Amino acid sequence: MLNRILLSIVISALPLFLLGQKPVWTFSSERENNYPANLFYTGYMEGNVRAGETVEQAKNRALKDAQGMLSGKIRITIKTEATSSTNSVSSRQNERIDTEYRDKVQTATDVEIVGVHSEAPYYDASTGIVYAFAYVSRKELSNYYRSDINLILSQVEGALQTAKELESAGEKSKARQQCEAAKPLLAKVRASQDMLATVSPGISSEDLQQPRTEAINSYLAQMQAQLAQAVFVYVVSNEFLFNTKVNIVANQLKAELAKSGCSFVDDARKADFKLSINVTTRHANDNGNFVFCYADTQVELYDIRKQKVVYSDEIAQKGGDISQEKAARRAMADVVKTIFGKLKPWIEN
């Protein structure tokens, strides 16, 4: 009788003994109690050690899988919300819907998951099974992304303030660079806002700093439009009408470019483009009382924003008139039309 009682006690205590050997997080009930879904995102993985795999390798693999599962849960949530958001604007044009959806899904793919904690993977020698568990607090994520949004928006505001100061100082090209640098920062803000909205359901647009973001984005668009209204060109000219130094091509070309919205500066650092012109003239032939001359022209357009030559050419333009000088001038005037036609697409872009 006594033996039966002792056996009964041992059997009833066996689950407690096993519970004491295995980490509590390996039991689903303990995970649900200690890491409730409304407070945590979790990732759990268990499986056998694979053939040719050491226990340590199996542990590391399981831990990566658990962390990946956690990140996947968050990304799936964002993608689901993205689909819902896209459907809610179904009255808009399809192209805009598709763009918004792609942007949201890309955000879900690229978003950074921070503050993930992991328990030390456990290996049960009696069963050959490895266990891994990762978790992250919604509150920790919320606090991080709140701070991240505020920090990045402050950086964008700083970049735009710098752009405004540069524009006032005539440094238009540098002002554009500041605006371009602000654009990817705003993309990061939107990614963090998507994350914050996911981990903090019901959060207000003010807490997401959406009004501030929209105001900054609007100001950026206005500034870029303003900076794009006029193109600044720095011109370097070296022209010879036979032995006489002139500025015939440069002056006429400036007049044509001005009609397309170009302005001209004396400092290359303030320009969007540097235009170099080299012209020499030579006698070609006579035809009775008519004389023909060439204007041999080398032209190069350097895009200061892209820091590269976007157009380069050598043109031998022929012109005719009643005297050698008039024929050379005619050739120089005609080459302006050719150069302008080839430069215009680059400058307008």
When computed from its CA atoms, the radius of gyration of the chain, rounded to whole angstroms, is 35
Q: What pTM was estimated for this model as a whole?
A: 0.56
Amino acid at 31: R
At 113 the pLDDT is 77
User: Which residue reads 């980490």 in tokens?
Assistant: 23
- pLDDT band for position 79 (50/70/90)? low
Mean pLDDT, range 54-72, rounded to an integer: 92
DSSP string, 42-108: EEEEEEEPPTT--HHHHHHHHHHHHHHHHHHHHHHHHHHHHHHHHHHTTTS-HHHHHHHHHHHHHHH
Nearest to 197 by CA among 117, 103, 87, 82: 82
Mean pLDDT, range 171-198, rounded to an integer: 87
Is residue 137 over pLDDT 50? Answer: yes
Query: How many CB atoms are located within 10 Å of the residue 264 CB?
Result: 15
C-alpha torsion sign, points 155, 161, 167, 170: negative
Which pair of tokens denotes residue 173? Answer: 């090209």
Is residue 38 over pLDDT 60? Answer: yes
C-alpha torsion sign, points 72, 73, 74, 78: positive
> Tens digit of pLDDT for each residue in 278-328?
999 999 999 888 999 999 999 999 988 788 999 999 999 999 999 999 999
In the chain, the domains with their CATH numbers are: 14-138 (3.10.129), 140-228 (1.20.58), 231-348 (3.30.160.150)
